[in-house]
Amino acid sequence: TFEEINPKETKTIRYFSSSCSVVFTDIFPNWYIVFRELEPRILESTAGEPNRFVAPYNSPNTWKRSANASNERFDLYNPMTPKERLDNYGIQDLGVAPIPIIPTPLHVAVYKPSSTLNVLNGQWVIVREPVFQTAVDFLREKLKIRESNDIPTGRYIVFHKKNIQFPSHQKQLQLNESYELLVNPATQSITITASHAAGAFYAVQSLLSLTDHAGNIPETDITDGPRYNYRGLMIDVARNFHGKETIMRHIDAMAMYKLNKLHLHLTDDEGWRLEIPGLPELTEIGGKRCHDPTETMCLQSYLGSGPNPVAPGSGFYTVEDYKDILRYAVARHVEVLPEIDMPGHGHAAIKAMHARFLKLAETEPKEAVRYLLQDLHDESEYASVQSFKDGAINPCITSTYVFITKIIDTLLEIHKDISPLKIFHYGGDEVPSNAWTESQMCTEFNVKKINKTLKQIFVETVADIAASYNLDIAAWEDGLMKEEKPFPKKNFPQKNIYVYAWNNLQSLQQAKRAYTFANNGYKVILTPATNLYLDHPYEPDPTERGLIWATRFISTKKVYQMMPENIYAIDEYDINGQLIPQCLATFQDKECPTLLIKQNIEGIQGSLFGELIRASWIMDYMVYPRMIALAERAWHEATWENITNKTNRDIQLEKDWVNFANTLGYKELARLDTLGILYRIPPPGAEIVRGNTIKASVEFPGLEVQISIDGGSVWTTVPPEGTRIRWKNQIQLRTKSADGNRYSRIVHLGKRTANK
């Protein structure tokens, strides 16, 4: 029972949780009150962003998992002070962007910034080339240059279809995406050579990267190609929905940085986001969240979506919306990979198909059970990682596979004339261990299949269905394994099975999974949570957004440090900041197997799960600029990746990072501004030296640092050499975006007595 709260009366309600809360985004917005038949009302103080109703995390007891040094969960992390940020991120300001193109090209024979041509004088033409028409159209639109059927004597851009020859000392990489780019001021010509359309398109992206705002392009001779075939970004639109316009904007950024796979997480416990003709309940109920404890009209309100069926808790792509995304992606050489997550994470689908069953049970009983995803008499008690007690699709009933066949049929039909589907990604992750234990259907089923787990039976059946459509399959790693061992690949009819390796926590001895799968013949996409989960905070600070289950923070530099062929060295600290012992020779074969079949590493992917992504600007903040570092590692193999000695490797890494960080600050962030992307602006580092001089720095040199000594009324620029001030109160500092229109969060330096 609840006590009455009278007008103007205050009641304190204590809420206990078994988990810690150390980041302000742990507290969801849009709390609401409902009573009987009355309409729900959101508590005004909790409405919307940015969680102003949450009290500040302003002491170790609030920002640490445990502040007790004797506790096994003792947390070493603290929010960075301005001085610590200065020490950690304060790097040499080179004054320019030293890298002409990101991702870094494979081979640059000539690059002369002192010798340029200009393509914006109104006299240039693009020589028409039907084989590469997508690239021609894209370049024409960007530079506003007309097409021509003939090659003039000068001032032209010409495309040639030809195989690319790499220098003998370079690797023969993904040739269908390789290109040559020759910018010749002497002949006033630009020549692009590629064997396939994708290579020509990436040459255009490199050309645009070289072009300054006035149209000047330096003399250049580049031969380039990617290290990996798969260079991906995963966006979860199931937990919180984002419309097609948002997705298209990210496709633009992906294309700019030569990422080529967009993995759309379309379904999960909290939402189903794609229209399936013939099964309207999937989106009418599974694509909608509201106040409905019975979940017969909509799903319950999850993740701060409130009691009303509005975005981002509610929403879905119509077939035409999804086709628009496909067309937009194809024009930018991005392949869309839809994921339908099952058998775990199936709550939305289960509830939708149960509602369909209830609607048809009396009038069409046979049709009612056709797509049912649960054993109605299953009394199993379980809870998923996200605490769902009814989110596991039953693998023991025929209707489950009728449903899956229907979904595959629909996906194939939607994709066929735009971007034919090649892979069925069925998710497969985080299946609760006690699911189906009390299902009579599964008890009977197990009599026949006693030597296999129900999950394995499910996977093999899905694989057989996919194979009948000539589709490969893909899944998160734990969807294809039992007790740390991959299912035998020989059990599957597909030649290629793609494993998304995500759980690399060395403290739990799970870092070995990726290489174990690769060594067993699976194609592996690396998306290690400690380095490439873009839903984690940038800093170990309670005011930074993000999940913290895998690691306390993932900076842009941490993404940049990704080493696909040295996976054990990318995660140096555990979740509490304790140093993790690196793999030792004495147990290497058991816990740290060597990567024996390097060609089975298909590529890498940044992953953005959407529990906390309630707006497009939040998505921008979490993805960028980390995605640029992801693109660099997916396309370009750094020399330091192959240095075994950590000290020597770190020295070379730091040199490269200085160049990369300067290029972000002096060039690339401004390019994101032109796309309308609201990337995270890093707060500055600073300290007071010699009593009254402020020394400041920023993670990406080239961004302007500003200071205020009057509470934010007046802001002035801090020059590289520092600035002398006279002050009495607290000093405020912030960083300005590349286009000057936005600012970082404000950081504070205390009074003079606090900084001696």
Q: Return the biggest CA–CA distance within the chain.
A: 87
DSSP 134-186: HHHHHHHHHHT-EEESS--SSSEEEEEE------TTS----GGG-EEEEEETT
**Which residue is associated with the tokens 């900041």?**
577
Nearest alpha-carbon partner for 471 in 411, 528, 427, 529 = 411
Decide: helix, strand or coil at residue 203: helix
Q: What angle do CA 103, 108, 113 make, to 5 degrees?
A: 90
Q: How far is CA 89 from CA 386, 566, 682, in A?
A: 35, 24, 10
d(CA 62, CA 371): 47
Task: Give the number of residues written for the chain.
Answer: 756
**Smallest Cα–Cα separation from 302: which of 391, 378, 219, 172?**
391
Q: Is 703 exposed, middle or buried (0-12, 13-18, 19+ CB in 10 A)?
A: buried
How far is Cα 466 from Cα 449, in angstroms, rounded to an integer?
Answer: 21
Beta-ladder partners of 686: 696
Peptide bond just before 625 cis, omega within 30 deg:
yes
Find where tokens 């190609």 sit: 225
Nearest-angstrom CA–CA distance, 398 and 687 = 67
Strand pairing class (716-717; 705-708)? antiparallel
- b or e along 121-143 (b: 16 or more beta carbons within 10 Å of the residue's beta carbon)? eeebbbbebeebebbbebbbeeb
As a whole number of angstroms, the distance between CA 380 and CA 443 comes to 12
First to last CA, the chain: 56
Selected catalytic residue, list 219, 281, 339, 430: 430
Q: Which of 499, 521, 278, 314 is nearest to 403 (CA)?
A: 278
What is the DSSP code (8-state) at residue 531?
Answer: H
* CA–CA separation, 258 and 386 (whole Å): 34
DSSP H or E run through 634: helix 626-635
Q: Which of 455, 238, 214 is nearest to 352 (CA)?
A: 238
| Distance between CA atoms of residues 301 and 293, nearest Å | 9
Return d(Cα 147, Cα 132) in angstroms, integer. 13
- Angle at which helices 398-415 and 319-330 cross, to 10°: 50
Return d(Cα 8, Cα 568) in angstroms, integer: 58
Asked if residues 217 and 183 have their Cβ atoms less than 8 Å apart, the reply is yes
Q: Are strands 693-697 and 685-689 parallel, antiparallel or unpaired?
A: antiparallel
Which tokens sit at 320? 């035409």
Q: Is 39 a catalytic residue?
A: no
Q: Supply angle C-alpha 333, 342, 294, rounded to 5.
A: 120
The two tokens of residue 606 are 């940044």
- Let me know: does 224 contact 181? Beta carbons within 8 Å: yes
752's tokens:
């003079």
Calpha distance 405→337 (Å, rounded): 17
- Mind telling me the catalytic residues? 430
